[in-house]
Amino acid sequence: MFIFVVLIPWFLFTVVVAALGADREIGALRAFFISLFLSPLIGAIFVATSPKVQYQKQLAPKVIQLINSGLRKYRSKDFEGAKADYLEVTTLTASAPNSHFMLAAIYSLQQNKVESFRHLAKAVEQGFVDFQQIKSSPSFEFLRTQAEFTQFAQNGYKLSPPPVPSDDLISQIERLGNLRQQGLLTEDEFQAQKKKLLDN
């Protein structure tokens, strides 16, 4: 009697929860075991709070294979191999927020702030919203120590547009160009003076 009253409904609800978890990050298998060993109600809560996996259904099998390969390489600290996989993903699909996020993490670990900022901004632009991960992940420790990071975060994780040169600056660079054409400045001297003007 106990089997019919408790165990069969328990198992049936477990199967239902597992089916609901199939299109979420928790996955059907994990949802099934949580429901089976804890309770279908707890399994349903886990499924309901797990984000939906929508993008993978729209991706080509090769792209999914590259994403999985990149993640394996990243976890084994083969950052160059992971970087190659994720860069290929970004060339194969128009929107790859998670791949840009992973590239930003790799570049931060390699202390390449320019590329890390660029890929992180691209990830957010394409829909990445887990900002807590940016604030707490050890992978972004280097990036968070950069002077530009506070402004970057306040700007919604978007890159600030480069400053527009003033008319005065443009005319000074044109004068330097004229001096170079007249042979009064070498190419190296011209580049050094131009850099000095742009840095100020």
- Token look-up 């298998």 returns 29
Residue 56, pLDDT above cutoff 50? no
How far is residue 76's CA from residue 53's CA, in Å, rounded to a whole number?
24
Number of C-beta neighbours around residue 108 at 10 A? 26
Give the pLDDT of residue 53: 61
pTM over 0.85: no
How far is residue 99's CA from residue 20's CA, in Å, rounded to a whole number?
26
User: Over the chain, what is the mean pLDDT?
Assistant: 84
Chain centroid to Cα 52, Å, comes to: 17
**Average pLDDT, stretch 142-161?**
89
User: For the domain bounded by 56-154, which CATH number is listed?
Assistant: 1.25.40.10
Q: What is the pLDDT of residues 78-101, one digit of tens each?
A: 999 999 999 999 999 888 999 999
CB 116 within 8 A of CB 143: yes
- Token look-up 């090769």 returns 62
